[in-house]
Each structure stands twice: as C-alpha cells, then as structure tokens.
Amino acid sequence: MIIAWRVARGTEAAIAALGGLDVLVNIAGVGTHGLSEGYSSAQLMRVFDLNVVGVHRMMRAVLPTLRAQQTGLVINISSLLGRLSLPFYGPYSATKFALETLSDTYRAEVSQFGVDVVLVEPGGFKTSWIDALVRPEDTERLSGYGQFADVPAQTLTQVEAMLDTRPEQDPAKVAEAVLTLIDTPAGARPQRTVVDFIGMAEPVGMMNDLATQATAGVYQAFGSDELLTLKLR
C-alpha cells in the first residue's frame, strides 16, 4: 500500500510540474538466470512485483489522467522471452508472459477512451541488465542437479561472447523504437514492436501475427471487436 501511495503521489507531482501527461514508458525491470527450481518463492514474488505489479501500479497512476483527456500512450517494455521460452530464464520469462497479457487486456479496456497501450519486445543486449541478473538462492536444492548446475553460467558466458561479435545488436535501437512509437500518429501504432538483430525477430514476428489474427477472430465471435480499434478524438 505504501509503494502504491508513493507512486500515485509521485505521478501527481510529475503531472503538476510538467503541466500534463502524454506518454508513459514502463521500462523498469530485472532479469533472472539460473535453474528455475533454485529460486525461492520469495525471490519469484520480488521479480513479479517489479516486472509485473510495478507496471500495474504505474498504469493505475496515470490512466485516470489519460482517460480524462481522451488521449495518451503507454509503452510497456516486454521481451522476446515474453513470447517464447528458453531454459535458465524461467522466472523472468514468466513475468514477461504476464506483462504481455496484462498489456493486451489494458489495450482493449482503455481503447475507447483514446488511450493506446503497446509493447516493445527486445531481444538480448549487452547492457548492465546482464550484471544485475537475479540468480537462484537455493544452492542446496541446486546441488541435486550435479554438474548440470554449472550449465546456466556456461551458456550465459557464451551468450555474452556472441553479443560481443554482433555490434548490430545495439541497445540504442530499443530507444529508437520507443521514439518511433511516440512519433507515430495515434491509431497507426503497431501493437507489438520487435527489436532484435540476432535471429529471433522473424520467428517471434510470425507468432505475433498469428496471435493478432486469432485474437481478432475471438473478439469478433464475442461481438467486441470494436475494442481492438483505438477511438480517436
């Protein structure tokens, strides 16, 4: 409750200082790397609190303003691991899957108030995010995996080495994608923007296209397909 109160008061102060609000970018988050069984329940809850509940707190803080003015944009930074699963990223991937569906639900629920909710799905980048990865704390439990318990660290080293050879995987391109979404006229923004240059963009893009088609069909079947179109002032 205290955190939610602070978020609400901080948002109010920011809106007052800036004279309004147009865009919210939810980018705060933490990654995980390790065998999923080694994460305690408390660790999992902390990761979900930041990556998912934190986004919810911020959206609750800004949506009354955006709905009242009948316009606004929310950009939630997800991950390609919110669309597919890879070993050793289990808790992180679970939070991003949750963020994806939370964003999709919000997108439909606030579309008729002129508020756009979109997702950016980056791949892996060589940033301080890697240094801050949360590792599993239950080392006694991991001892049951024997030598396999060393595999996550080995694969992470390999990934970092690979990223060192791929300058095109530049984190600045994620910022560029965010700016492009902000500059794109309301009603013309894609629901999902993939940012990856090491081979994951195409398969995830195919998944996104299929999901969009399936979602449109379900909404139409339930007679609520108008919620998939942003209502413009």
**What is the chain's Cα-based Rg?**
19
Q: Which pair of tokens denotes residue 20?
A: 């309004």
**The two structure tokens encoding residue 185:** 């006229």
DSSP result, 203-215: HHHHHHHHHHHHH
Cβ(99)–Cβ(51) below 8 Å = yes
Taking the CA atoms of 153, 155, 161 and 163 in sequence, report the sign of the dihedral they define: negative
Distance from first CA to last CA of the chain, Å, rounded?
A: 35
CB 87 within 8 A of CB 34: no
Pairing of β 115-122 and β 192-195: parallel
> What tokens does 75 get?
């950009």
Give the residue numbers marked as catalytic. Answer: 92
